């Protein structure tokens, strides 16, 4: 029987990328006096790599290889990422990023039904807790038994590690859980951890390959705003 729901964050709980993380990265680049600027289309390509530090490195390899030749390149990336996180937290703290349709409703109903809740994400832990607090409920962090985030595992999605880490902490088999994801990288991670996975689309993932998901929905829907079923048969 189903015992727990495990949620991805970026793109699944809220559309945090284009008007959240991307804006924060650009603010950090500007603050550091750098010429890097990620427009919305370029950012879509950079999302191929999960994790902010990893994403900056991926960008530099392609667009500014000299940056990586500096002796202190690693420290610079760490400092840029810390600055990016500060900007992101400020943006989220202002209530700047609303949850996707149906997310808050599902979480409240799942809690009421006695299901256990967890998070499995590649983003920084503070980013998760501040989004939950600002956009879900002031005490929402306590709704989640385990929050697996960021560098707690060295290999980020599409590796299954963050999901297996969460499952171990919860002492649950994958078959007793349902994962919620929005991207191909996230789905590869959850499926590799043997988790049945429901996909809801997000703005950057409309053309992703969601093979293996048990259903693909536009979003989780609200009573007055039903979701669209892209693939799968929810009544089957």
How many CB atoms within 10 Å of residue 43? Answer: 19
Q: Do 77 and 67 contact (CB within 8 A), yes or no?
A: no
Number of residues that this document lists for the chain: 236
Which partner in Mg ion, ligand XBP, none is near 121 (CB below 5 to 8 A by kind)?
ligand XBP
Applying CB under 6 A, the span of 9-17, 109-117, 170-178, 219-227 interacting with ligand XBP comes to 9-17
Q: Is residue 51 part of the contact set for Mg ion (CB under 5 A)?
A: no
DSSP codes of every residue in 177-223: EEEEE-SHHHHHHHHHTT--EEEE--TT-TT---TT-SEEES---BT
Q: In whole angstroms, how close is the CB of 201 to ligand XBP at the nearest point?
A: 13
Distance CA 233, CA 236 (A): 5
What is the widest separation between alpha-carbon atoms in the chain?
57
Residue 124, binding choice from ligand XBP, Mg ion, none, Cβ under 5 to 8 Å by partner class? ligand XBP
The contact pattern for ligand XBP, residues 215-234, with x = CB under 6 A and - = no contact, is: --------------------
Interacting stretch for Mg ion, rule CB under 5 A, among 7-15, 64-72, 102-110, 212-220?
A: 7-15
User: Residue holding tokens 């929050």?
Assistant: 147
Cα gap 72→200, rounded to integer Å: 40
User: For ligand XBP, which stretch binds (CB under 6 A), given 2-10, 95-103, 130-138, 207-215?
Assistant: 2-10
Q: Is 11 in the site for Mg ion (CB under 5 A)?
A: yes
Binding site for ligand XBP (CB under 6 A): 8-11, 17, 21, 50-52, 84, 121-124, 127, 157, 183, 185-186
Residues tagged active-site: 8, 10
């Amino acid at each position: 029987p189903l015992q727990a729901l495990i949620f991805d964050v970026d793109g699944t709980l809220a559309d945090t990328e284009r008007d959240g993380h991307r804006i924060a990265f650009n603010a950090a680049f500007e603050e550091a006096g750098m010429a890097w600027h990620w427009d919305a289309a370029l950012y879509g390509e950079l999302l191929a790599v999960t994790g902010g530090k990893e994403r900056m490195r991926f960008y530099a390899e392609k667009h500014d290889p000299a940056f990586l030749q500096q002796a202190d390149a690693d420290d610079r990336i760490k400092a840029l990422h810390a600055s990016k996180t500060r900007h992101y937290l400020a943006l989220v703290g202002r209530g700047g990023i609303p949850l996707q349709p149906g997310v808050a409703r599902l979480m409240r109903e799942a809690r009421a039904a006695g299901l256990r809740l967890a998070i499995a994400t590649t983003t920084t832990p503070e980013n998760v807790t501040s989004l939950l607090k600002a956009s879900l409920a002031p005490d929402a962090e306590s709704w989640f038994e385990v929050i697996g985030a960021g560098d707690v595992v060295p290999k980020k999605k599409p590796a299954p590690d963050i999901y297996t880490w969460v499952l171990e902490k919860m002492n649950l088999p994958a078959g007793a859980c349902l994962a919620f994801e929005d991207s191909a990288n996230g789905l590869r991670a959850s499926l590799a951890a043997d988790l049945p996975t429901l996909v809801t689309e997000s703005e950057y993932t409309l053309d992703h390959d969601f093979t293996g998901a048990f259903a693909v929905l536009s979003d989780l829907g609200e009573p007055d705003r039903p979701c669209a079923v892209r693939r799968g048969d929810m009544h089957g």
